[in-house]
Structure 1
Amino acid sequence: MTTPTQALSDAGVSIWLDDLSRSRLTDGSLKALIEEKNVVGVTTNPTIFHLAITKGHGYDAQLAELAAAGADVEHAVFELTTADVADACDLFAPVAEATGGVDGRVSIEVDPRLAWDTAATIAEAKKLHAKVGRDNVHIKIPATLEGLEAITETLGAGISVNVTLIFSLTRYRAVVNAYLLGLEKAKANGHDLSQIHSVASFFVSRVDTEIDRRLEAIGTEEAAALKGQAGLANARLAYQVYQEEFSSERFRLLADAGARPQRPLWASTGVKDPNLPDTLYVTGLVAPGVVNTMPEKTLEATYDHAQVTGDTVTGTYAEANAHLDALAALGIDYNDVVAVLESEGLEKFVASWNELLGDIEAGLAQASAAKGV
Structure 2
Amino acid sequence: MSQPLLLNLRNLACGYQDQRVVQNLNLHLNAGDIGCLLGSSGCGKTTTLRAIAGFEPVYEGEIILAGEVISSPGFTLAPEKRRIGMVFQDYALFPHLSVADNIVFGIRKHPQKDRVVAELLELVNLKNLGKRFPHELSGGQQQRVALARALAPEPQLLLLDEPFSNLDGELRRKLSHEVRDILKARGTSAILVTHDQEEAFAVSDHVGVFKDGRLEQWDTPYNLYHEPQTPYVASFIGQGYFIRGQLSSPESVSTELGDLRGNRAYTWPTGGAVDVLLRPDDIVYAPDSALKAHIVGKTFLGASTLYRLQLPTGAQLESIFPSHADHQVGAQVGIRVAAEHLVLFQASGSVAAQVSKSDSGVRRYSPAS
| TM-score exceeds 0.5 | no
Normalized per residue, the structure richer in strand is: 2
For the pair shown, which has the larger CA radius of gyration, 1 or 2? 2
Structure with bigger RCO (C-alpha 8 Å, 6+ apart):
1
Normalized per residue, the structure richer in helix is: 1
